Every structure is written in structure tokens, then in C-alpha cells.
Structure 1
């Protein structure tokens, strides 16, 4: 079973590409090797670690309860409805995040769709099951817990990732802090299964937060560990049956059983720990609200995040995927999908350049396609968060870097039509329409054509983004003569990247613009109408 079917049913620049001079100079001032971090669980027996986990969980849960009791937001939808999402999110438009962790050890070369390796390796009819036995050992003895030490990230360089994402034009970035595998990529006091105690012995969330903020990016941390309760259910037939590992695999339970309060307390406490220690500007949640987490804890989560931000006089955005919850609060997110209309609210499309986790044999999207869907998203009042899948050693795949640099080059010339814009009354025109707003709608996308146009606005300017090169002229039928714009009559039409204004006429058919003989770049072309 793969991710999309389940939901429907129930840089490293070692590739010849130069690092940004800024990043190279900065790293030259640092030591050549990051000091090894330490964690409170190192050297403890499983029993001692579990005792410490429970002690720290009780203390953190008490802090969360006190925060909500004394904060301006209460754990009910009526109170949470008064929260305002941060304005910076509406302006940012484009962000990048990364799926990287122990799953990458298995997903990289396993046959089949192995992005859910921690579940699929325990599923006998999935190719990952036999692959795991042949590569690592029998699941009764060598389970997911035993591949975690192979996640070493020996070439991980947070500043190199930051350099590449800035050059790609991202305005916010961050890691998957904890995926369905329940492994924390930070220096946690709540779980011994973390990246400082095991694997790379690095505080991934902490290092990336410092690097991204140093380069001026807003910081996002994404959380998927609420689904661990379901993810590991097949593992209970194998090594997860041993209760000493229930702090990773969750306490053994029948398939489909509701989550325990203990599990949800720990889920919430880990989010709070990341808020307190790393101060993200945006936190993202996968589909666990729909599938696992109960309404009581959903509301506690939002209250925790909002009260934490209010106490520190910060802004916080929280994204999730349930339209019912969005009626009350938060930023609505679509996984590999987007709205089919202009919305009055900002929203998010989280999509991936290829597979979520690195899979060596899988193709990735082209620069042209990513730019086209970015324009489509922004025209409808959305933002894109693009996933990049690092390799197990911590480097970014060369082909992914090439696409990122292509996006960045386009945004360098055309970013004024993206960043800080607001939608027009029409999102666009042309023959290509995407499926009604839903997750995974991009799977049904048809290629955009030269007749497809997407609109954005800023101040007294209307931007028309041509998603292909029309040839000698472009006819924009949404702008016929006599149709006034909010800034009055059209006075001038320019193309970003072209020095001189363009000749144009307007009649009942629309705005007809004579285009340059040579396209100014690649991928998409922006008319600036004033």
C-alpha cells in the first residue's frame, strides 16, 4: 500500500555546481567538522530511558496545561477562531522543506513505492518486505529500530542546504522534524529515539534553524508523527511486539484501535518541545488530524501553538489538511493538490519535486512544470512548499539542485509577479483547468499551454504570467476594451526581462500584445500591465 492510495482509502554541491560565495566564505570561518552533540539518553538502558521519558513527559504536559489555562486562547474552536494567520505567509509564496531521516536508509534503493518504508518493510506483500530481509535481516530481529544507526548523514551541511534554498528563491524553509516513523530530528528530552542520541548524533532541527535564519528565511518545522499510531501496526507482528520498544513503535494495540491519551500527550509534548527550543514561524501537520488525533487534542494543539506565540509576542502559522478544522482556524493545506478558484483565505500546497523521501530510481519534476504550478497556486491566493529529498548521506541530489537553480533564476527575473502579490478577481484564462481543489489533484494535471495565463496583482499593477511562449503576440481575452481595472485604463505593457515597453492594442477581443522576437528566458513569461 502506498501513501496516496492509503489516504484515498481510509547540497550538497559536490556535483560541479559552485556554492554561493556568501556561504563558502561563512563556512571557511567555521571549524571543518561540526562538534558531536550529546543527549540525555545516551548510555542509558532501555528501562532507565523509559523512566526518564515518562518523567519528562509528565513535566512537559503540566507546562502545556498551564500555558493553555493562562493564555488568551482556550482549547475550543470558538476561541481558536479569533487567531489571525501571519501576514508574512501571504507574502512569502514559495518555501522548501525536506523529508530526510532513517526512512531514507530503506527507501533509497528498495523496489516498489518505499516512501513509507517503516510500514512497508513489515508488509509481506510489499517488495520492501523481502528487500529488508535480504539487505538488513529478518524483521523479527532486525526491525526499523535497527536501521536507525545506519542513518549517519556524514555529509550533511546545514549551511549548504540554506545556500541552495536561498538561491532557489525560497522565503521559508525547514525540515520534517518527525515523520510517521516517530524519530525526532532534534535534541529531545522526551524520546530516546532522536538524531542526537542515535544515527548522525546531530541536532538537525537546530542546525537547520540557525542556518536558514542566518540567510533570512522564515523557519518551518513539519510534524507527521501523529500517524505513528497507525504506521507501525504491521510491525506488532514482528520486533515491535517487544514492549521495551513501545516508545518508538507506540504501545501495542489492535489495528484500527483509537489512540491512547498517553500517545497523544507525547505527540503534543514533542510539538511543544520544538516550539520552545527552536521557535518556528510555521508548523505543519500531515493528515493525522483526519486519521488519528482526536478533536480534544486537535484543539489543545492549536491552543498550545497560539498561546506559546502570544506569550513570546511572536506570530505563528499552523497548517493542516482538514477542511472542517479550517472552518475554525489554521491554514488549509493540500498535498500535491491546489484550489481550483481564487479563495479569500491564504492556503498551502505541499508538493514534492519527486518522491517524498529519496528514491534513486524515481524521476523528478521539471523546472518548467514547477514554475507553472507555482504561478497557478499564487494566482489563487496560495503558497507552495516544495519538498526536496536529500540522499542518506545528507547531500542534495544533483538533478534536484539543477531544478532548484532553474527556479531561482526565473524568480530572480520574475519574482515581482510572485512575492508579495495578491490575486485578481480572475485567477487566469486558457484551456487548462485543474481538478476541483483536493489533495493529489496534480496527478491529473494536463500540461499547460501557451494559451494559459495566470494573473497576480501588486499595488497599481496587474501581472499576466504566460505559461508558454505564444509566438509573435499574446491575446488576453480577460482584458477587453471598456473593462476598467481598479487602477483605471491601461497605459503601458512591459515584459519582465525586456528593456523597452511593448506595443499593444485593445478591442472587444481583449488585450493584444506584440511580443519580442526572442523570449527573455525560459519557462514562463510575465507581462506587467499598468
Structure 2
């Protein structure tokens, strides 16, 4: 660990830590020793033996939290620390008009205003538990370089400044006490260039006194140097050692080639450390930063065209354009959020849904209401989600998201013909689920894939029920579809979920008279 105090032999570390000569060398040696000790080695061939844990594959639903200094200006989005220094942007003009010239009031000057005076980690955890979340992933450090945890590698952290509380530590305790799993996200990699707009004009980014916060502020096209990469690794190791998160989420810039050997080292250290703890963990990555199979793919605000052979994750937000709370937030509808969840789960994925608390530590009532409504929906329909597995096809119907990232900002309206499928094995047989994404106008749910003529159901469908309704449903199975008469009372606020037990066809009887 490094120390906050500076001595005559200290060297300035890029990104803000003061390291007594040799201290980081010793820590790096320890990290390499753990990574080399197994069961994983820092080589892709070894790391590809990784398998995502069962708890994560069964969880299906987690909460992401973007909360930090950017919650004070609450303008634009969580990239305010960057865009406020980019001339010609709305954030630049807003900042100059609202807060003053950039050389007199910079991003650092929001830190004392980030008081979090109403932050109640227990209340947050209760809200996430009420929503039905199985794990929680707070942003430990965003691109702005302000750590939301107690770190020895930078004085710019929530324990030393602003809230003067170990946000990640307090929330982690509350999350675990509520029976959920704690994760953490690191966006530190992007800090290499994040504040560079402030170097182009007279701003406080140019002041050497602020270099331990705003630096390095390099150009985006330059590769991070070894000192920055070393600091990135040791910050992440500190997170792992101090908080033992079971999900470690990274943003996209780690896919730069310079990170590759450090990613292998970090993954081996994390997986081996977790093995020593007796825990199973997950690394989330985007695009191609990790070798396939060595961690869990994350698709931001996105969708896949079909079912992925391995578990994957979609991270999205209750807001359409901003991850952090901003004035004038535009929220998704409950129907869209349920659609996000079930489309991901039907394709072998996990949904990480983001909320953005306000600077005072409260979660906007509109976001709380959405989370509570998701929880109510899962109370009725959760057996079709938690612990489920993909069916033969992920879905049917006219409405879908295009495959790829950043495809969910436009509004969507689902119909009663939009259906997603899951299944689960039970002692009484395989349970099939059809998650209909809107209530059919005529009160009859029609599932084409379950029709006798589809060729997708090898056997008979028995005990067909509407989740949340009493007793077996009235059904008709034709060549075109399985038709289910729905009850007068809607069991949940979005769509309806059908459950059927699949009776496998009996194998041909053996004739013992033939030899």
C-alpha cells in the first residue's frame, strides 16, 4: 500500500498517488506471486478454463449504481467532468454560465458540494432487495478519477473528501446483510485521457496543483504508459483485497493493446484470490478485451440477435440517456424495463440495471417506483426468470431490439404477440415458460411456438397455468398455436406469463420376442 503523506523520496505517480520508492515494486511482486500460484495462471489458455459461477447464472438481475461528484452539477450526464472542458458543448456553456470561468471554478470545486448528507446504505439495500435484485454493483471509480471508497492510492476519495464516508464499504456491508452479492465497477482506465479538454484553454486542469486529480489528461490516441498501467492494476488489486467484490466490471478502454498483459495478470490474481476466499467471482468486459471464455461478456445498452452459448450480461439504465441522475431525466417505461429483463434472460443473459442517486444520497422517487414495480412483477413471475435457462428459441413476435450496443434509447411498445421463452428442470418434469410482453386485447394469449404444428415441442403440454392466477387455465392447442384464456384480473402490471409442464413422449416399447 502507498501512503498519503509525501516524503523527500516520494515519486509522483500518474493519476495521483504518492508512492515511496519500492513500495509499489513490493506490491507488484506480491501480485505476481499470487497470480503464479494457481489454480489460474496469467495466460489466456489457463484463464479460459474459467466458468461463470452458478450463483451468477441463476441470479439474472442486478443493480448498477452511478453516483459521484458528477451528481452535483446534475447536467447532461455522468461525463460532465469531461464535457464541461470541451468548448462548444452544452456542458461547457452551462458550466461557464452557472458556475463561472473554468480557471476559477473547475470540476474539483464540486467535491466539497458532494456532501451525501442523506445517504442511507441500509435503505438503499432494502430498495434493491425489494426490486428483486440478487447482486449490486456500485461504481467504485468513474472516469473522473474520484474514488467512492477508502483508498491509499489517492487523496481524492469519498472517505477523505466530500461525503467523508467509505461509500463502497458501507453499502457493501448493507448489501451483504440483505442477502445480496456485492460487486464493484472500475472506470479508471479511461482517466488517462478523460480531462484532456481542459488543457486546450485557460482552465484549472492546467494548474500543476491539480495534477494528482486531473492527470494524466493525455490525448485519447496515445497508449497508457507503464506507470499508469501499474497504478491501474494496483488500484484494482486494492479494491479486490479490501472489499472482496464478487463481480468486477470494467468499461471499454481496457481493450487497448497496452492493457493486455495487465489484464491477464489481474484476472489470475482475482480468480486465485477468490479461490482462496472460497468464493466464485465474475469479471465483466466489453468487446474483445478478454479472450473468449476467460470472463463474462457485457453488452452496454444492448441486445443479442439470439441465444448466446455462455452466460453474458446487458448493462442498461432506467434513464434513456444518462446513467447518473440529472435534471429533466427521461425514464424508460415499466414495460420496456421488463422487456429488457426477459429478452436478456431468454438469450442466456443477466440484466444489470442502473439507477443514479442524487448528490444528497437519495434515490429519486421515480426510480424507486420503477424498482418497486419490477419487484412486484418478479414476485408474481420470478420463477420464469430466476434460475431459468434458455428454451429452444428465445422468442417470437414483431418487436425486438436490433443486435448490438447502444440500441435501447428509442421508445418501444410491445404487443400481445411478443413472447419470450425460458425453461427450468423440476422433479415433476421440464417447466416451459412463455413471457407475453403485453396483455392481449381480446384476453387470449396465443403462443405460436407451442402449437402442434411448430415442431418445437417434443411432447405434450400439461397443467398449463397463468402465473399469479388460481388453478389451471382453459387452453386450446391447435396446429397454429397454444391458446390460453386469461383471467379477468391481471396478475401483474406488464403482460402475462404462462407456465406449462412438458411430458416427454414415451420411447418405443421394446418387443422381447424379437432378437
Asked if TM exceeds 0.5, the reply is: yes
Native 8 Å contact 1:47 1:244 kept in 2: no
- Give how far 1:171 is off: 0.6
Q: TM-score, normalised by structure 2?
A: 0.89
**Alignment-derived partner of residue 141 in structure 2:** 178
Among residues 421, 433, 445, which one is paired with 1:463 in the alignment? 433
**Alignment-derived partner of residue 36 in structure 1:** none
- For residues 154 and 458 of structure 2, what CA distance do their matches in structure 1 show? 57
- For residues 65 and 240 of structure 1, what CA distance do their matches in structure 2 show? 35
Does residue 243 of structure 2 align to residue 278 of structure 1?
Answer: yes
- For residues 528 and 522 of structure 1, what CA distance do their matches in structure 2 show? 18
**Alignment-derived partner of residue 361 in structure 1:** 328
- Give how far 1:292 is off: 7.6
- CA radius of gyration, larger in: 2
Does residue 131 of structure 2 align to residue 168 of structure 1?
Answer: yes
- Give how far 1:344 is off: 1.1
- Give how far 1:380 is off: 0.6
- Give how far 1:185 is off: 0.8
Native 8 Å contact 1:229 1:250 kept in 2: yes
- Give how far 1:440 is off: 0.6
Q: TM-score, normalised by structure 1?
A: 0.87
- Output aligned runs, 1:45-124, within 5 Å: 53-55=18-20, 57-106=24-73, 108=74, 110=75, 113-124=76-87
Please give the per-residue CA displacement for 1:256-294, whole angstroms capped at 9, x wherever unaligned. Answer: 221111111111111111111111111100112235852
Does residue 450 of structure 2 align to residue 450 of structure 1?
Answer: no
Among residues 397, 402, 406, which one is paired with 2:364 in the alignment? 397
**Alignment-derived partner of residue 3 in structure 1:** none
Deviates more, 1:233-242 or 1:118-127: 233-242
Please give the per-residue CA displacement for 1:296-351, whole angstroms capped at 9, x wherever unaligned. Answer: 22222222211221232321100011246352411000111021201111110100
Among residues 436, 458, 477, which one is paired with 2:448 in the alignment? 477
- Give how far 1:158 is off: 0.3
- The structure in which a higher percent of residues are helix is 1
- For residues 369 and 424 of structure 1, what CA distance do their matches in structure 2 show? 22
Secondary structure of the equivalent of 2:461?
coil
- Give how far 1:60 is off: 3.1
- For residues 219 and 134 of structure 2, what CA distance do their matches in structure 1 show? 43
* Unaligned segments of structure 1, at least 5 residues: 1-38
- Give how far 1:63 is off: 2.4
Secondary structure of the equivalent of 1:62?
helix
- Output aligned runs, 1:97-496, within 5 Å: 97-106=64-73, 108=74, 110=75, 113-237=76-200, 238-251=203-216, 253-291=218-256, 294-323=259-288, 325-354=290-319, 355-436=322-403, 438-443=404-409, 446-459=412-425, 460-470=430-440, 471-481=442-452, 488-496=459-467
- For residues 447 and 307 of structure 1, what CA distance do their matches in structure 2 show? 45
Secondary structure of the equivalent of 1:443?
coil
- Output aligned runs, 1:6-45, within 5 Å: 41=4
* Unaligned segments of structure 2, at least 5 residues: 502-515
Deviates more, 1:58-67 or 1:156-165: 58-67
Native 8 Å contact 2:70 2:78 kept in 1: yes
- The structure in which a higher percent of residues are strand is 2
